[in-house]
Structure 1
Amino acid sequence: MSYLHDYYLTNYTKCSKCESFLCSWEDLAVTSHSITGVVIPFHVFGGYCILSKTPVYMTHYRWPLFNMHFWSCFVDILISALITPYLIFPAVAGFPVGLLQFLEIPVTVQIWFGIMGIYVMVMSMTILLENRHNSIPSNRFRITGKLFKFIYYSARVLIAVSFSMLIFQFVPEDQSSALFQILKSIPCPTEEFFTASGMFVLVIDETYINLLAIACVLGVSFEILQMIFFIICCLHYLYFAINGFTSKKTRKLQIAFFGSIMLQVSIPILFLLPSFVFLVFSVVSGYYNQALTNFSVVYASIHGLLSTLVVLTIHKPYRKFIRSLLGMSNAVDLQNKSMFNTRKASVFPTHVTA
């Protein structure tokens, strides 16, 4: 630690400090935790609507929808409140400033929770798409066997657990030396690099870093390919091979469900994928920008809120329930009734003049 202390008192004094918003851990913590306080009521309300206000014709859709809603909200809270990672990239290092750190949960456990939480959330998106994929009667690629489905998802979880445990094999034993080595590539990090008590280096060897980056890209690509497969099958049978549907109404309802799922799945992808791409780019290219790195964390942490809002707005039963809470449904009904009476009066006059 003396090497770091000496560097902090000598070389670091020549560095210009980062004065931008989100450079400090306080900015990240306050921003992320404030977002959590706003989004939790929306998450709870969204879960209540899915469990209590889902109509009978959406019964088979309810549990996969709630499963994705739960894990999306969990990852949202995990990033913004429970862990709140202050990442030092392109070095694979950082420290948490969330509730779990306050409770003195080991950093390695927090990292494991983060990796598994994100993976299970991505898998819940695949489950939701697979549910729509299996609901099309004429689909020859439906996964109907319970045993096969159990093996399929168990294997994916096992792979994720193995990967999440494997990365801890590269943790340097001498954390102080690892931190000092990081200064060779990042000579002017933020002051937190020297003052934070929970600073942790996950991996320092450049070869291992590249291997982890490649493994992450392959893992994400594998999940995306599965989603693409289910999406292509749904598009084919909903828009081209339509002879298997018993009625146009059933097909129209299936298309509506598929469209809502596509919109819901796209929200986490649009908010998690850019952050993931930036962090991988930072590692591969050696680009360091602490404010932008912290912004990518905040950006990723609001995907759950937008996903919840999408669920509540794209499904008619939930919209109707929200309107009833706001007292809008009666006004709409009265307006529709008034319009109907007006049309009726214009067609059928009440009296005839001589």
Structure 2
Amino acid sequence: MKSVKWSLLSFHFFSCFWDLGLSFLTTPFIFFPALAGYPLGILKDFGVKNEHQLYLMIVSGAYMLVAIVIVFENRLLILIGSNKFWRRFRIPWFILHFIVGGTFFIPTYLKIPDQEMAKAYFRRIAPCIPLYVNDDLVFVAVIETRFLLRAVGLLMLGGFLEIWTMAYLTDRMLGKQINLTMSVRTVELHRKFQKAFILQLIIPILIIIVPVIYVGISCFVFYHNQLLNNITLIIVASHGFFSTIVMICIHAPYREFTVLLFTVVIRVRGENTSSVGPLRSNVIT
């Protein structure tokens, strides 16, 4: 666990920041199938422009995927630490990932359409906008979202292929390390941690996969349903909640600390209640 603490910390940071951004910093009210809407979060009150908030959330989501890849690379590095080629190549490899994650949205960002024309077109493809929506606040970043969806899809596919490859190589290397440089118990601990981390990733992904599929279908067929849009954002913004629950359930150190924390809180409350009770009875007497 100690060997991957920094990579895990970066993953938890980007994961928490992304969830915090969706639920508190930006709180977007989006009108799929177009990438249009307006923010309701605290950054709006500080005067941060809509396009800057959008860029921040897109890039933080990409960096969260990069952080996941780095965790699995770190696990593999423990087993192939003597490989001089990979030790030299990994830093440029990291830098390339962060560059791609931070720049893939720039072409879309630079082509944000004229807002008056974009809003007129948006009203035609989404005529059933709720009456409580203020058209003046709506920001249209992308009308034709298919190109952006392809770019995001390729980025996610590349990331998941890297994750699968590294997880597979790590498992193969662990099998070869038994009785060579590691004991059977050490290998089992490595495998247990890897399986737990994979579960921590898979379960939240399975929960949000249906909303993601809906967004893709909505953008490709130009279907607008604001109720489904709102439900989609609520589920996606709950990614961190589900990830935390899974983490507590499958990682023994987190689970033991959580149980200890709740035990201490309950005990302190019980002591406060018992100490206040006699005091109240004496005052009444």
TM range (shorter): 0.7 to 0.9
1:148 to partner: Cα distance: 1.8
Which residue is 1:117 aligned to? 60
**Within-5 A mapping of 1:110-149:** 110-137=53-80, 144-145=86-87, 147-149=88-90
Distance (whole Å) between structure 2 residues aligned to residue 246 and residue 286 of structure 1: 55
Report deviation, 1:318: 2.7
Equivalence for 2:117: 177
After superposition, the C-alpha distances for 1:220-271 in whole angstroms (9 at most, x for unaligned) are: 1111111111122123233577564531111111111111111122244234
| Structure 2 counterpart of 1:258, one-letter code | Q
**RMSD (CA atoms):** 2.4
Identity within the alignment, %: 28
The residue that corresponds to 1:35 in the other structure is none
Q: Please say if residues 69 and 308 of structure 1, whose CA atoms lie closer than 8 Å, have aligned partners that are also in contact.
A: no
Whether 2:227 is the aligned partner of 1:312: answer no
* 1:12-32 CA-partner distances (Å, limit 9, x unpaired): xxxxxxxxxxxxxxxxxxxxx
Shift of 1:135: 2.2
**Given the superposition, is the C-alpha separation of residues 75 and 246 from structure 1 closer, same or farther in structure 2, using an over 3 Å criterion?**
same
In structure 2, the gaps of 5 or more residues are 265-285
Does residue 279 of the first structure (1) align with residue 215 of the second (2)? yes
Q: Select which of 195, 204, 209 maps to 1:259.
A: 195
Q: 1:80, 1:98 within 8 Å by CA — same for their partners in 2?
A: yes
The residue aligned with 2:94 is 153
1:108 to partner: Cα distance:
0.7
Which letter does structure 1 place at the counterpart of 2:131?
E
Unaligned 5+ residue runs, structure 1? 1-57, 329-354
Greater RCO structure (CA 8 Å; 6+ sep): 1
Q: Cα 1:313–1:285, aligned 2, differ >3 Å: closer, same or farther?
A: same
After superposing the two structures, state which structure 1 stretch, 238-247 or 290-299, moved more.
Answer: 238-247
Whether 2:110 is the aligned partner of 1:164: answer no
My pick for the range that moved more, 110-119 or 65-74, is 65-74
**Helix, strand or coil at the partner of 1:183:** helix
Confirm or deny that 1:186 pairs with 2:126.
yes
Q: Aligned runs of 1:1-354 on 2, under 5 Å?
A: 58-137=1-80, 144-145=86-87, 147-173=88-114, 175-193=115-133, 195-204=134-143, 206=144, 209-239=145-175, 242=178, 244-327=180-263
In the alignment, the residues of structure 1 paired with residue 214 and residue 82 of structure 2 have an alpha-carbon distance, to the nearest angstrom, of 39
How far the C-alpha of 1:89 sits from its partner, in A, is 0.9
Calculate the TM-score normalised by the size of structure 1.
0.68
CA distance in 1, matches of 2:263, 2:135: 51
Distance 1:272 1:156, change over 3 A: farther
**Conserved? CA contact 2:15–2:64, under 8 Å:** yes
Shift of 1:112: 0.7
User: In the superposition, relative to structure 1, how do residues 120 and 272 fare at CA in structure 2: closer, same or farther (>3 Å)?
Assistant: farther
SS in structure 1 at match of 2:79:
coil
Q: Deviations over 1:69-96 (max 9, x none)?
A: 1111111111111111111111221111
Could you tell me whether the CA contact under 8 Å between 1:133 and 1:142 is conserved in 2? no
User: Secondary structure of the equivalent of 1:184?
Assistant: helix
* Greater alpha carbon shift after TM alignment, 103-112 vs 230-239: 230-239
Q: 1:60 to 1:111 in 2, by over 3 A?
A: same
Q: Deviations over 1:315-334 (max 9, x none)?
A: 22233333333449xxxxxx
Q: For the Cα contact (< 8 Å) 2:38–2:139, is it kept in 1?
A: yes
Distance 1:117 1:183, change over 3 A: same
Distance in 2 (alpha carbons) for counterparts of 1:287 and 1:302: 24
SS at match of 1:151: helix
Q: Which residue identity is paired with 2:142?
A: V
Q: Which entry has the higher C-alpha Rg, 1 or 2?
A: 1
Count of residues paired in the alignment: 264
In structure 2, C-alpha distance between the alignment counterparts of 1:102 and 1:153, rounded to whole Å: 35
